[in-house]
Structure 1
Amino acid sequence: MLTAVKGARLGLRFFSSNCSKGYRQAHLVILPKHLADDFEAFCHSNPAPLPLLDRRQWGDNSWPPLAKDDVIRMYQDGVVVENVSSLQKSSVSARSASQQSSGRQVQWSDMVGFYLGSSFGFEAGLKKALAAARKVSMYKTAVPCIQVGVFSCPLVVSMCPIPAATLQAAVQGTHHHPHGAPVHIGDADLLGIQDLSRPDYGHPVELQPADIPVFWACGVTAEEAIISSKPSLAFTHSPGSVDLTDARESSPMWPPPHSMGSEVTSLPPELTPLCFLISPNPLFYSLASQRAVSKIRKLEAIIGEDPGQRGIKALFIQDELIRSCLALSHASSVAITTGFPTHYMHSPPDETDGPPGAIAMATMLLSLGKKVTMVMDRRALEMNQAIIDEAVKKGVLKSTIPLVTFEESAPNSALHFLCHHGDPTKPRYDHMVAIERSGRAADGNYYNMRGINIKHLVDPIDDLFIAADKLAGMTTTGIGDGGNELGMGKVKEKVKSLMPKGELIACDVPADYAITAATLLSSSGVSNWGGYAVACGLYLLHTCATHQRYLHRGLGKDHVTSEELRHWTANLPSVDKEESILSTLVDFGIRSGKSGNLAMEVDGLTFHPSHSDIITKLLEVTLDSD
């Protein structure tokens, strides 16, 4: 579960000098009293750019004198009218300007001051990752902050180029500061920033070939909020001018404080962010907590078990599960395909491995608000629609899923299927998953594990994965247990050298992420387990404060409601649900892959105890509160 640390009035003392090092720095904002409650709520709704440290009535004796070298910006109606070094001086100017324009006299008793955490303390954390200090540029993004009252503006981010080799250190070196860990790592276009050489604030920086652009939420967002809301009078520190608190830089400040009077507690080490590359084009990294990653790695180990003790984990790729789950978490629209007609002499020819795992993933994705489409062979469309309807009727699925088919009719058929009007900039899907889907071999045919060509039963859905590889921003996952499944082309050389008939049957079409269930060399691998693990991994990411903060760029709520938690938990795979869907498949005449039995088994393993035990182990890891 997510937890929020409360407390906005921290009892901090403020120094009148900003030249000391090692202490947390703060940025001042002063607004009319009638806007104060909305601005406080605006800060709480957008905690990464606006970490609120304190709110006090201006003129309160507890307010410190400003540093003598501070520069204060004065705004009238959202426009900077003066830069001053003394609020006494600016009050006179403001009174004079106000009297000239409206006849009103400024009363400081009508003003409220806010101190926001400053990003200048990042330097210490970044120096641990950089050989030398770098300048920082600041940019307005196309990402809107959460609006509260009159306060509405785009998120402002600061950017620092970080060498790829020290990226993890930079992320972990800054996550405990007021603005927290980065809110975006990778291509600036994904934030709506068109040109990194033209910052809106600060100075341009030059990226070196090995550098990764890393973006943090920036307190200059407060200035944008003032500009857009146009208060009659407002003041802020100028960028680069801050005051100091008595809190040391090493004091954790994230999750941010949220209510007056509470204390900030230390950030647990298990929430430390870990960084993963999930897309090279466009370049994009994601974050998840050490706790969530550890649990997903345990899930990955469970689905690699070999109940029959007849194989070795030769084709396993570390962290493919976490990368796939991260990519799916960032996706808004997902297409899933399954279907392996290994029993070519029976009708239907399909096997029981694949559809249960596909439905388990779809169930969790739908509960998380994703759009889900299932891509099927035309020959099996009517049967699969009936299976989906039955799953909804039994409560395994909460709602139906659109089913579509793909058949090549023109050279650009795949592109037109994946993108609106065939436009590569308008994809219908962000991610495609193939689970136990027959994959095309190097000779263009499709083979079952016995080396029998079943091409006449398979539509060319592989073409969609090939086309997706050329589309920026679209990622793919393949889940398999034998090496001849769609997506397993990523490990085809190992399949060819290690699998019986590997040279013939190995799938030639890769996916970005290849999740291998069991060993791929044993006779007891089950792709359904991979689907269950993906569903559990998505649950863990959506109950991970570190990942959710990154997913939402530090904007909006920072905790899971009890209602959301109940909903997501109810949509996890379970022994009862998976037994129910397997029973439905058997009712439709779908057989076990290895044995060909029309029974409650998958790949020759009976549901109890083999599959039920795996599901139970996955749920124990997922729901463990430790």
Structure 2
Amino acid sequence: MRPIPESKLEAAVLATSELKEAHGAPIHMGDPGLLGIQDLSKPDYGDPVHLHPGDIPVFWACGVTGVEAVINSRAPLAFTHSPGCMFITDLKNDNIRSLRGGPQVHCISQDPLHFSVVSAEAAEKIKTLETLIGVDPGERGITHLLRQGELLRACLAMSHAHSVLITTGFPTHFTYEPPEENDGPPGALAIAAILQALGKEVAIVTDQRAMDLHKKIIEEAVQLGILKKSIPLLSYQRESADSALKFLCDNGRPRFDHLIAIERAGMAADGNYYNARKVNIKHLVDPIDELFLAAQTIPGVTTTGVGDGGNELGMGKVKDAVKKHIKNGDVIACDVEADFTVVAGVSNWGGYAIACALYILRTCETHDRYLRRAVGFPQLPQSVAWLPALPSVSKEEKLLKSLVRLGVRSGKTASLEMEVDGLPFYNTHSLMIEKLLQEVQQ
């Protein structure tokens, strides 16, 4: 471990990342507890190194690990080093391949403090995804809500998570049964599918009254090959002041590292839930917002909100812009924040972009090494298995047809047609999927 000022983290990563025959890039930056180290003043080897205000603990793979292996193997002869006494050879780094643009460092959590690493090439691809979905086909004014870099930071946090909870469901059509719109579930399933492929635990939480509907949607997703297996479906009810904490934690430990809300009705400042037309739909919505509020108090749990109008759960981070630029924004703006806010022209597009971004991260050599802390072999060959988990025009077309059969309507028009938010699937949503996939495969 060496203390590095936060402003110099990226320089430290860049300087060491090309020295692959030595220590290489850091394996961790931030809270030592995330490595299981409780006391930096008691190192296993050598003298403690003290941090100054503003310093970040940065950890590199250490040659002492190799020394321990040599000692325990009882080799008759070995040339190595001891702490503070380096072993010098005539090998040079002249032929080291330079990383394209070098690695980038991004903070993904303040409590505990945690930074992640990604190549400039992968970061640029994800930035392009963010730009693609940031268009405003419905002319709602959502371009005023966009925050650059949120998609990358959100997906970096998800990439480090072990267990993810997803929520969706916006009952905007209160005079129909079911009242849900078809924006949200497809995006949620796209995220769930790639999380499954990456070996993470994933569950969905939604309204108690909509459990049967979402159960059927999940079953359809499995049959269509969108999900490789079914996922747990949960509901949340407030029974006491600490219900949300009890739901999120098991014996004091978080059940989920990351929470995602995509096109999920969000609570406004007055405690009600509104659709875009300023109609109060609180009677149809369970208080899942409380889980996101409780997550803010649990170290190590981060949250993402995906929306396209400002009244969705997690959009509290941009509520001032919603009130200023979105129709009825002064009433409908969600008041509950998420750590990361992904804004898209259609929320499903945000889900598709998250799935594609997670794939880009896991096929990024720089991020893969950091994610596994330089232990074991690269997981990049598994990209062949991850690629089929991404959304496709064929899969999303079949899913939308299933939603139509289940009576789930288009958000803007309440139509039971091949459209989402009043936009036709063919040559609009299908074209967006193709553009996102094209960026992934470049």
**TM-score computed with the length of structure 1 as normaliser:** 0.68
Pairing of 1:357-396 with structure 2 (within 5 A): 357-396=187-226
Instruction: Name the structure 2 match of 1:530.
Output: 350
2:360 maps to which of 540, 554, 559 = 540
Is it true that 1:402 corresponds to 2:222 in the alignment? no
Q: Structure 1: which amino acid aligns with 2:44?
A: D
1:343-384 residue CA offsets vs partner (Å, 9 max, x unmatched) = 111111000100000000001100110111000100100111
Deviation at 1:167, TM superposition (A): 1.3
The CA distance in 1 between the partners of 2:322 and 2:140, in whole Å, is 16
Deviation at 1:160, TM superposition (A): 1.1
Aligned counterparts of 1:332 and 1:380: Cα–Cα separation in 2: 27
The SS at the match of 2:306 is strand
d(CA) in 2 for partners of 1:407 and 1:243? 61
Please give the residue correspondences for 1:32-431 in structure 2 after superposition, counting only pairs within 5 Å: 159-177=1-19, 178-229=22-73, 236-248=80-92, 251=94, 265-270=95-100, 272-307=102-137, 311=141, 313-421=143-251, 423=252, 426-431=253-258
Question: Is the 2:236–2:288 contact (alpha carbons within 8 Å) kept by the matching residues of 1?
Answer: yes
Partners of 2:180 and 2:127 in 1: CA distance: 31
Distance in 1 (alpha carbons) for counterparts of 2:213 and 2:440: 33
The match for 2:327 among 479, 500, 510 is 500
Q: Is residue 2:263 matched to residue 1:436? A: yes
Deviations 1:13-50 (A, max 9, x none): xxxxxxxxxxxxxxxxxxxxxxxxxxxxxxxxxxxxxx
Query: What amino acid sits opposite 1:225 in the alignment?
Result: A
Query: 2:83 is aligned with what amino acid?
Result: P
Assess if the C-alpha contact under 8 Å between 2:18 and 2:97 holds in 1.
yes
Which letter maps to 1:360? Answer: A
Q: Deviations over 1:460-514 (max 9, x none)?
A: 0000000011100001100000001000011111111222221211111100100
Does structure 1 conserve the Cα–Cα contact (< 8 Å) formed by 2:142 and 2:343? no
CA contact (8 A) 2:140 2:326 kept: no
* RMSD, aligned CA: 1.6
Q: Secondary structure at the match of 1:277?
A: strand
After TM superposition, the structure 1 stretch with the greater mean CA deviation from structure 2, 594-603 or 452-461, is: 594-603
Shift of 1:243: 4.0
Greater radius of gyration (CA): 1
Q: SS where residue 622 of structure 1 aligns? A: helix
- 2:64–2:82 contact (8 Å) kept in structure 1: no
Contact 1:271 1:545 in 2 (8 A): no
The 2-side partners of 1:532 and 1:349 are apart by 23
Alpha-carbon distance in structure 1 between the residues aligned to 2:410 and 2:230: 25
Equivalent position amino acid for 2:363 in 1: T
Partner residue in 1 for 2:294: 467
Change over 3 Å in CA distance of 1:312–1:506 after alignment to 2: closer
Q: Percent identity?
A: 57
User: Given the alignment of the two structures, is residue 600 of structure 1 paired with residue 418 of structure 2, yes or no?
Assistant: yes
Give the paired residue count: 440
Please state how far the C-alpha of 1:398 moved relative to its aligned partner.
Answer: 1.5
Which deviations, in whole Å up to 9, do the C-alpha atoms of 1:271-305 show, x marking residues without a partner? 72110000000000000111111100110110012
Q: Using the alignment, how far apart are the partners of 1:570 and 1:615 within structure 2?
A: 14
CA contact (8 A) 1:338 1:358 kept: yes
The superposition leaves residues 385-427 of structure 1 with CA deviations (integer Å, 9 ceiling, x where unpaired) of 0111112112222111110100001111111110114x1xx11
Counterpart residue number, 2:385: 567
Q: 1:310 and 1:383, CA in 2 relative to 1: closer, same or farther beyond 3 A?
A: closer
Quote the Cα distance in structure 2 between the aligned partners of 1:271 and 1:370.
30
| Distance of 2:414 and 2:8 partners within structure 1 | 52
Q: What code does the residue aligned with 1:326 have?
A: L
Q: In structure 2, what residue type is equivalent to 1:286?
A: S
In structure 2, C-alpha distance between the alignment counterparts of 1:583 and 1:273, rounded to whole Å: 42
Which secondary structure state, in structure 1, belongs to the residue aligned with residue 309 of structure 2?
A: coil
| 1: CA distance, partners of 2:9 / 2:186 | 39
| Aligned counterparts of 1:376 and 1:242: Cα–Cα separation in 2 | 57
Q: Equivalents in 2 of 1:179, 1:242: separation in Å?
A: 12
- Alignment partner of 2:378 out of 558, 563, 575: 558
Deviations 1:210-255 (A, max 9, x none): 1111111111111222454455776643223234333445x3xxxx
Q: Secondary structure at the match of 1:202?
A: coil
Secondary structure of the structure 1 residue equivalent to 2:275: coil
1:549 shift after superposition: 0.2
SS in 2 for 1:404: strand
Partner of 1:245, secondary structure, is coil
**Secondary structure of the residue that 2:90 maps to in structure 1?**
strand
Separation in structure 1 between the aligned mates of residue 260 and residue 140 of structure 2, nearest angstrom:
28
| SS in structure 2 of the partner of residue 432 of structure 1 | strand
Please identify which structure carries the higher helix content. 2
Following superposition, the deviation at residue 202 of structure 1 comes to 2.5
Larger relative strand fraction: 1
Give the TM-score, by structure 2 length.
0.96
